[in-house]
Structure formats: structure tokens, C-alpha cells
Amino acid sequence: MNILISGGSGLIGQALSEYLHANGDEVTIISRTPKKAVESGKPQEISWDDLSGPNGFLSRKIVDVVINLAGENIGSGRWTAKRKEKILESRLFASEMLVNAIRQTANKPGLFIQSSAIGYYGTDKEQPFDETSPPGNDFLAGVAQKWESSSLVIEEMSIRRVVIRTGVVLSIQGGALPRMLLPFHFFIGGPLGTGRQWVSWIHIEDEIRAIKHVIDKKSISGAVNLTSPNPVTNAEFGRTISRVMKRPYWLPVPAFALNTVLGEMSVLVLEGQKVRPGKLEETGFKYSFPNLGEALQDLLS
């Protein structure tokens, strides 16, 4: 298959493009600064300017799948008004560019995968969420709703659209895990806040395999939660890291300290959601790492 990916330089995008390319798919990445010469055996790169138009990429090439992963990292800085605006605008820009390019071309893809996050559901310490749950009403939920809606018009073009709501992706290459491990490296690991907040996580390998599952299972459409079937509390997450790393788990970080340091962004570590991957389970997806212990053992060994 010919697959076009925006956001291919991010944690998920890099792993996904390499995985698909290694499995025989022809992968092209949209980049703000594409490399003029890409290494042999690596996915190719194009610029956003080369995407559409009479001589654009989508006019020159028949693309089977478009995967929209582009968006500013929500955890890389305090949520000032300017940063919040950038977080949202970066997501809407990519969707708008892709939708307009697809609208203009006769070579329409068979599948459009829209990235989103489990932040769509808001936060709750007790209530579990699945793909049928309503959206929340905080900042991240609002961003997710607008992000998902930004490509909704794709469905009017008779294109299958899947919205992947991803949880906390575990990888040593980036994302949340290296930050979560840091206190344990210094022997000061412990619960964050109450420790009762849920962490709905997924191993990076299962994340990319789940996206491939979505591509191959043509019966799947709409929202799909990409999380492990076994979410854990923050305290259980920390105790599992402690066991795998053979480090102590003893020093709690109070909520007020995190609020002081992180501001509104502290919701990323003090709140959470217990999310079930209903559609993945219903459609027969087999996890390589369904349990946190074996996931961390694989990543940290």
C-alpha cells in the first residue's frame, strides 16, 4: 500500500513509518523541512507545499491511506494562553491542509486515520470510558473534540475515517516514560498526588500494530481507543517501575507542588481516565504487551 503520514517525525510517527516501510508499504512523510536526499531504504519526505495542486503529490500518486498524526506536543511547556493556542492551531492546520488537498484530487484515499487522544473523555477517578462515552469539558477534551471534528468532512467524500484516541504511549525513545523513570534513577520514586488517578497506557509496539490493525480491518470506522486492556493507577504504575528497575518507591510528590511547578498542565499527571479499548478487543486485536509489568520489562531490559 501507499501510505501518507503527517507528523511522521514524532514519537508515534517515526515508529509507525519505519514499521510500515519494513513491512513492504511505500511510506511518504509530510514535513515542514523535508530532507532533499533521504537515505536508501527509508520513507520518503515531501513538503506541505508539494501536497496539493495540479502537480502536487496527491495528483502524481495514488495514496491508499492517509494518517494524520501532526500536532504540537502537549507536554513540552506550561500551558500559557499562547501555548494553548499553538497546541490547537497546530492540529487544525494539518487537518485543514490534508482535507483540502484530498478534496481537490481525483485520487482519493480509501482510508483517513485521524489522530486524537483519550483526553477527549475528560478525567474521572472512578468512571470507566469506552468509545461510546461522551466528551469531557476541560481544555484537553476541547482540543480533542475540535481535532477530531477538523477532518469529519472526509466522510462526506465516501472515505472510511477512523479516529484513534491514544493513551499514554510507553517508549524509551520519548514521550512520558523517560520523565516518569527519572525520579527512580535517583532513588526518589513515589506516588504523584494521591496516586489513585488512572493511567491508560500502551506499549509503543502495540500502538503501531494497532494502527496497522485498523488499516487492515476494513470493518473498523469511527473512534477507536488505543490503550492496553489493563489500565493501572498511578501508584500501581510507580510500584511496577520500582519492581522492574529494582529501585525504592517511597517519596510522594504532593499535588500542590506539581500545581506550583506545572500550573494547569499538572492535570497530565494528577488526573486521568480509565479507558477500555472496546473496538480493538471486539475486532480481535492481539496485544504483545497487555500487562504493564511485561511492557516495562521489555522496554527497560
pLDDT score, position 54: 85
The arithmetic mean of pLDDT across residues 155-184, rounded, is: 96
| pTM score of the predicted model | 0.95
The arithmetic mean of pLDDT across residues 231-260, rounded, is: 96
The arithmetic mean of pLDDT across residues 14-42, rounded, is: 85
200 pLDDT higher than 80:
yes
Residues 235, 51 contacting (CB under 8 angstroms): no
Express each pLDDT in 85-115 by its tens digit: 999 999 999 999 999 999 999 989 999 999 9
Q: Please give the Cα distance from 163 to 141 (Å, whole number).
A: 14
pLDDT score, position 40: 58
37 pLDDT higher than 60:
no
State the Rg of the chain over Cα. 19
Q: Please give the Cα distance from 167 to 105 (Å, whole number).
A: 33
Q: Which CATH number fits domain 2-300: 3.40.50.720, 3.40.50.10800, 3.90.1150.10, 3.90.870.10?
A: 3.40.50.720
Express each pLDDT in 128-152 by its tens digit: 999 999 999 999 999 999 999 999 9
Banded model confidence at residue 32, pLDDT cuts 50, 70, 90: confident
The arithmetic mean of pLDDT across residues 1-23, rounded, is: 95
The arithmetic mean of pLDDT across residues 204-231, rounded, is: 98
The answer for residues whose C-beta is within 8 angstroms of residue 40's C-beta and 6 or more apart is none
36 pLDDT higher than 70:
no
What is the rounded end-to-end Cα distance, in angstroms, of the chain? 34
Beta strand 198-199 with 232-233 is: antiparallel
259 pLDDT higher than 80:
yes
Q: Please give the Cα distance from 139 to 284 (Å, whole number).
A: 33
pLDDT score, position 38: 61
Banded model confidence at residue 46, pLDDT cuts 50, 70, 90: very high
Query: How many angstroms from the chain centroid is the CA of residue 109?
Result: 22
Express each pLDDT in 53-92 by its tens digit: 888 999 999 999 999 999 999 988 899 999 999 999 999 9
The arithmetic mean of pLDDT across residues 274-290, rounded, is: 98
Banded model confidence at residue 167, pLDDT cuts 50, 70, 90: very high
Give the burial class of 132: count Cβ atoms within 10 A of its Cβ; 0-12 exposed, 13-18 middle, 19 or more buried: exposed
pLDDT score, position 194: 95
Q: Please give the Cα distance from 59 to 107 (Å, whole number).
A: 7
Q: DSSP letters along 163-223, please?
A: EEEE-EEE-TTSSSHHHHHHHHHTT-B--BTTS-SEE-EEEHHHHHHHHHHHHH-TT--EE
Banded model confidence at residue 220, pLDDT cuts 50, 70, 90: very high
pLDDT score, position 63: 96
The arithmetic mean of pLDDT across residues 266-283, rounded, is: 96
pLDDT score, position 41: 66
pLDDT score, position 39: 64
Mean pLDDT of the chain: 95
pLDDT score, position 282: 97
Enumerate the domain spans of the chain.
2-300
Q: What angle do CA 33, 3, 161 make, to 5 degrees?
A: 110
pLDDT score, position 55: 87
